[in-house]
Structure 1
Amino acid sequence: MMEILAITILFGCFLLLLFLGVPICFAIGIATLLSVMTMLPFETSLILIAQRLSTGLKSFSLLAIPFFILAGVLMNQGGIARRLINFSQVLVGTLPGSLAHVNIMANMLFGSISGSGAASAAAVGSIISPVQKKEGYNPAFSAAVNAASCPVGLLIPPSNVMIVYALTSGSVSIAALFMAGYLPGILMGLCLMAVTAWIAAGRHYPRNKRPPVQTIFRAFLEAMPCLSLIIIVMGGILSGIFTATEASAFAVAYSFILAFFIYREITIKQLPSIILESVITTSIVLLLVAVSVSMSWALTSADLPNLISTHLLKLSDNPILIILAINLLLLFIGTFMDMTPAVLVFTPIFLPIATELGMSPLHFGIMMIFNLCIGLITPPVGNALFIGCSVGKVDIHQVIRPMLPFYVVLFLLLMIISFVPQISLFLPHLFGLN
């Protein structure tokens, strides 16, 4: 009975604080403290929460997050997005609604390099949205394409949320998770392009002419240093030259050389503001990690994982229905909770159920991350959706209708990824990582 009361207080306070507009990290922390106080004395609760906040950040692998964030900021301000857009244009610029396809391809490339869907939506969208408007594209459709495609890069490594999941699961290597994300991420981009081509053909949006060979070659040369980062980082991790954490430090050095010496779009005067921006972002992410680990511990202490597992397995003994139920719960969670706390809090709850059904933790991780990517573009708390609307200068209600075809296709693809594990496991098996 005490455990049920603790769980009720935790989720009730958390939802109430979110409704009142309290920042999510403080909502998690306060709700967790109040929940623990129902089981333990006040002084003991404070000591335990303080300990959990500290131990939640005691992981060497977490050092990769601030380094990858700094690399992303350097690339965001170093002219990387523009060069990737030019490169995308020579790749997909002849398709119907060519600028929309360029938007998707650029988000895939930039998101995979920066590791941030929000940064991708802002950087790529701010450049390409005005061009689309001049070409006669509907602003709401342009914003929908930008928002729907910006989370794709979170599935294509390096990805901070994959590092968080690997640490939370305790049984998945970061290298294996990185490799597992490639095929689902590419499939996600291709499906979005298919929907875009269908809509663009119906609206008779223009397609660009094939550029001259010299233009293609020049765009490739300009983008190659950016794309090389992915090859070097993944190649180094797979070959054992460096760990994911060491790779993140290398990414910072490489990004700095690229932006400062090769592209020359960053000056020494800009470095303090770049470092400050990355420190602020890192502080937010790591605070979320710390409080989410505390919340996860409180839920485990209240025996919630076992409670949910028992009830789900009582509802049905059909693995398909149980996995579908987990996906629906995660889709709901993703509509109001950011990816990092959602992964930290709900991985310990749902992963044991998935593994009991015979699901690989690696496969479950990709399913969960893909699922929560949809939450980034779903109201009421879809950060990427709001950024896409802001960049495209349209209201949220104007974008919801153009988003509907993308939601349908992404949900169908989520089901395919959930029930066809080979999509996620093929590359890790090929490279002997799982």
Structure 2
Amino acid sequence: MNILLSVIVLFGIFFVLLFLGVPISVGIVISSLATTLMNLPWDQVIFIIMQKMNSGVESFSLLAIPLFILAGNIMNNGGIARRLINFAKLIVGRIPGALAHTNVLGNMLFGALSGSAVAAAAAIGGTLNPMEEEEGYDPAFSTAVNIASAPTGLLIPPTSAFIVYSSIAGGVSISALFMAGYVPGILMGLVAMVIAFFYAKKHNYSVTEKVPMKDAIRITLDALPSLLLIVIVIGGIVGGIFTATEGAGIAVLYCAILSLIYRSVDFKTLMKILLDSANTSGIILFLIAASSAMSWVMAYTGIPNAISNAIMSVSDNKYVILLLMNVVLLIVGTFLDITPACLIFTPIFLPIVTSLGMNLVQFGVVLTFNMCLGTMTPPVGSVLFVSCGISKLPIEKVIRTLIPYVVAEIILLLLVTYIPAISLALPTAMGLV
């Protein structure tokens, strides 16, 4: 079958269905079926696609995803967000624009615990937005800060994005990916804080009152049990004490115990948490199954190698090729959620980065960083829509204030792409790379 025709049919049908509002997973399955039917009998096609979808989710490591989702939902309803906000405010409260910096640090902490940018944007932004409004902050500024910092949780581990990438890339250590995400994720948050600082200085935003030592100790001790989750889960995974899936199970147990201690989750709330977690997990796992089928279709028709050869023929310059790859991923990220984008485009770009000598751990971070930026931008930016919904502002009023953050984070993305040490220094020092 002609490879060009396969590309047109596969991606043409998929994007047409996407623009028509068909669910992404359904669009992936339909476009995969249509492409395969051009070369195989329908009975074989149905059998193969179903088999690939089943094998795509038949992985022990992927079991970590629903468990981390459940842990994040327990935290979101368990009073943990408020304790993290108080702790963040204690650390950055004396910087001009204190509440904006609290928002950034709160998103970094909560995102690292929950692994969800949307959950962080809703929990931290939803709590701080009314406080910032009372202090006279520009609502567009507050919303932009929340949008720019919420995706840090997709880079700072534990994060499901790295688990999905590891399952597709094959042989890439989840522990190494987790460690590689720390520095880029923290830098992403710091970039947002720097821009917020200059904006706050320009508009004379106040600092918070100095907290007495007694209160500071109480706030720290109150947040410490939540922060210990990162140490227990990441320390156990990196130390080889348990796998990522076992770590996710421990995270669920730990969060459940915290919620019982805080007495913040009753039986009715628990049932809602379980139902929401099951719904979200079902959506993500079906996306993984559908994307696994599409990945097989692309491999069968030779699409990844064809696209790889086409991109490599544009230039012999490594930096130009990496720039082109980032441009494609940035565009893709504006249309697709992180899970299907990772599953679909990892097989396409792996031959390219392998031929360029890029470490696959670094590529995992670059790919995830691109998808983080996609959550901030229209037309399908989940964090953008959630944050604007919280502040009740139309997107067009927020975009102008958001642009400096997006530009700065794109520059940071290029640094992460061209300077391997930013993502690889920490896992290399720990002997994981």
Could you tell me how far 1:235 is from its partner in structure 2? 1.2
Question: Paired residue for 2:284?
Answer: 285
Secondary structure in structure 1 of the residue aligned to 2:229: helix
Aligned partners of 1:2 and 1:38 also within 8 Å: no
In the alignment, the residues of structure 1 paired with residue 350 and residue 207 of structure 2 have an alpha-carbon distance, to the nearest angstrom, of 45
Secondary structure in structure 2 of the residue aligned to 1:292: helix
In the alignment, the residues of structure 1 paired with residue 99 and residue 301 of structure 2 have an alpha-carbon distance, to the nearest angstrom, of 51
In the alignment, the residues of structure 2 paired with residue 151 and residue 8 of structure 1 have an alpha-carbon distance, to the nearest angstrom, of 32
Could you tell me which amino acid in structure 1 is paired with residue 30 of structure 2? I
What RMSD over aligned residues (CA atoms) do the two structures have, in Å? 0.9
Could you tell me how far 1:238 is from its partner in structure 2? 2.0
Could you tell me which amino acid in structure 1 is paired with residue 22 of structure 2? V
Question: Paired residue for 2:294?
Answer: 295
**Does 2:41 match 1:41?**
yes
In the alignment, the residues of structure 2 paired with residue 306 and residue 386 of structure 1 have an alpha-carbon distance, to the nearest angstrom, of 36
In the alignment, the residues of structure 2 paired with residue 239 and residue 11 of structure 1 have an alpha-carbon distance, to the nearest angstrom, of 42
Could you tell me how far 1:210 is from its partner in structure 2? 2.1
Could you tell me how far 1:38 is from its partner in structure 2? 1.2
Matches within 5 A, 1:25-104: 25-104=25-104
Question: Paired residue for 1:132?
Answer: 132
In the alignment, the residues of structure 1 paired with residue 298 and residue 400 of structure 2 have an alpha-carbon distance, to the nearest angstrom, of 37
Could you tell me how far 1:350 is from its partner in structure 2? 0.5
**Does 2:325 match 1:326?**
yes
Question: Paired residue for 1:311?
Answer: 310
Question: Paired residue for 2:402?
Answer: 403
Q: Which runs of 4+ in 1 moved over 6 A?
A: none
In the alignment, the residues of structure 2 paired with residue 16 and residue 310 of structure 1 have an alpha-carbon distance, to the nearest angstrom, of 26
**Does 2:188 match 1:184?**
no
Matches within 5 A, 1:344-355: 344-355=343-354
The answer to which of 266-275 and 289-298 deviates more is 266-275
Matches within 5 A, 1:195-234: 195-234=195-234
Could you tell me how far 1:358 is from its partner in structure 2? 0.8
Could you tell me how far 1:94 is from its partner in structure 2? 1.0
Aligned partners of 1:171 and 1:361 also within 8 Å: no
Question: Paired residue for 1:173?
Answer: 173
Secondary structure in structure 1 of the residue aligned to 2:57: coil
In the alignment, the residues of structure 2 paired with residue 129 and residue 202 of structure 1 have an alpha-carbon distance, to the nearest angstrom, of 20
Aligned partners of 1:5 and 1:38 also within 8 Å: no
In the alignment, the residues of structure 2 paired with residue 203 and residue 12 of structure 1 have an alpha-carbon distance, to the nearest angstrom, of 48
Deviations 1:234-254 (A, max 9, x none): 111122211111000000000
- The count of aligned residue pairs is 433
In the alignment, the residues of structure 2 paired with residue 55 and residue 28 of structure 1 have an alpha-carbon distance, to the nearest angstrom, of 16
Could you tell me which amino acid in structure 2 is paired with residue 356 of structure 1? S
Aligned partners of 2:165 and 2:342 also within 8 Å: yes
Secondary structure in structure 1 of the residue aligned to 2:313: helix
Could you tell me which amino acid in structure 2 is paired with residue 320 of structure 1? Y
In the alignment, the residues of structure 1 paired with residue 277 and residue 252 of structure 2 have an alpha-carbon distance, to the nearest angstrom, of 11
Could you tell me which amino acid in structure 2 is paired with residue 214 of structure 1? K
Could you tell me which amino acid in structure 1 is paired with residue 427 of structure 2? P
In the alignment, the residues of structure 1 paired with residue 26 and residue 148 of structure 2 have an alpha-carbon distance, to the nearest angstrom, of 29
Question: Paired residue for 1:259?
Answer: 259
Could you tell me how far 1:295 is from its partner in structure 2? 1.0
Could you tell me how far 1:171 is from its partner in structure 2? 2.1
TM-score for both structures, normalised by structure 1: 0.98
Could you tell me which amino acid in structure 2 is paired with residue 410 of structure 1? E
Could you tell me which amino acid in structure 2 is paired with residue 133 of structure 1? E
In the alignment, the residues of structure 1 paired with residue 333 and residue 87 of structure 2 have an alpha-carbon distance, to the nearest angstrom, of 32
In the alignment, the residues of structure 2 paired with residue 301 and residue 328 of structure 1 have an alpha-carbon distance, to the nearest angstrom, of 26
Question: Paired residue for 1:121?
Answer: 121
Deviations 1:68-103 (A, max 9, x none): 111001000000111100000000011111100000
In the alignment, the residues of structure 1 paired with residue 100 and residue 336 of structure 2 have an alpha-carbon distance, to the nearest angstrom, of 28
Secondary structure in structure 2 of the residue aligned to 1:130: helix
Could you tell me which amino acid in structure 2 is paired with residue 407 of structure 1? V
Question: Paired residue for 1:341?
Answer: 340
In the alignment, the residues of structure 1 paired with residue 203 and residue 302 of structure 2 have an alpha-carbon distance, to the nearest angstrom, of 54
Aligned partners of 1:4 and 1:302 also within 8 Å: no
**Does 2:141 match 1:141?**
yes
**Does 2:108 match 1:108?**
yes
Aligned partners of 1:148 and 1:406 also within 8 Å: yes
In the alignment, the residues of structure 2 paired with residue 134 and residue 242 of structure 1 have an alpha-carbon distance, to the nearest angstrom, of 46
Could you tell me how far 1:172 is from its partner in structure 2? 0.7
Question: Paired residue for 1:357?
Answer: 356
Question: Paired residue for 1:273?
Answer: 272
In the alignment, the residues of structure 2 paired with residue 292 and residue 199 of structure 1 have an alpha-carbon distance, to the nearest angstrom, of 42
In the alignment, the residues of structure 1 paired with residue 10 and residue 347 of structure 2 have an alpha-carbon distance, to the nearest angstrom, of 16
Could you tell me how far 1:297 is from its partner in structure 2? 1.2
Aligned partners of 1:155 and 1:185 also within 8 Å: yes
Point out where structure 2 has 5 or more consecutive residues left out of the alignment. Answer: none
The answer to which of 293-302 and 321-330 deviates more is 293-302
Secondary structure in structure 2 of the residue aligned to 1:137: coil
Deviations 1:338-365 (A, max 9, x none): 1000000101110111111010000111
Deviations 1:16-64 (A, max 9, x none): 1111111111111111111111121222111111111101011110110
Could you tell me how far 1:209 is from its partner in structure 2? 2.4
Deviations 1:271-299 (A, max 9, x none): 21111110001001101101011111111
Question: Paired residue for 1:194?
Answer: 194
In the alignment, the residues of structure 2 paired with residue 210 and residue 410 of structure 1 have an alpha-carbon distance, to the nearest angstrom, of 32
Question: Paired residue for 2:379?
Answer: 380
Could you tell me which amino acid in structure 1 is paired with residue 386 of structure 2? I
Question: Paired residue for 2:18?
Answer: 18
TM-score for both structures, normalised by structure 2: 0.99
Could you tell me how far 1:2 is from its partner in structure 2? 2.6
Could you tell me which amino acid in structure 2 is paired with residue 299 of structure 1? M
Could you tell me how far 1:132 is from its partner in structure 2? 0.5
